Structure 1
Amino acid sequence: MTSRSFGTSNASGFQRSDASRPSLATSGNAVKNRQLTHLHAQLAQLSANLADTDNLVRMTSVQAESMRGLGSWHGGLFMAASKVLGEEAINREQGGQQR
């Protein structure tokens, strides 16, 4: 297995590091700064999306409570309608038996 050398070698075979070449070091810093800027932008977008999600979850919670109230109200209406219709059916049966 051969090992890789990340430095460059000159004609005599000695290695020199890329840090000794200012153009490559500057280029590396520019890439790093660009990546950090991009990461910062992504973090800001993530933070905004999390704030939106938090707002939507709170709104959903309020709406769920309202839906619960509507369900209870409709349940009461169905029970009242059932009672009225049941009483009408009983009254019809009693009226039919009396004739």
Structure 2
Amino acid sequence: MKFNKGDSVIWGYETGGSSIEMRGAFIVRIPPLIDYRPFLPPETPLSHNKSDMPLDEMDRALVEVLQEDGKACYYTPQFNQLHKHDEATTSDNKGKE
């Protein structure tokens, strides 16, 4: 699937036995074994970086997720987990569901 910068995307993951769906804005596809940190906006606080691995053996995406307080956090889900999100179906189009 192809995404353009700014596309609304969703992906899911499991934590503690619960399924979580995340929504955010696609920034860039990151090839395997490439460090994602140079793709972050300049001066991004470390606390806003929600990825635990700078390098991965799989394609990932850099996704911006707006938190309830309006601050942007950055995630790096596997690229193949992303799906385009149809914003017309919901009024809350970013962040945790």
- TM-score exceeds 0.5: no
* Bigger radius of gyration: 1
TM-score by length of 2: 0.18
TM-score by length of 1: 0.18
Choose between structure 1 and 2 for higher RCO, CA contacts under 8 A separated by at least 6 residues: 2
Q: Which has the higher helix share?
A: 1
Q: Which has the higher strand share?
A: 2
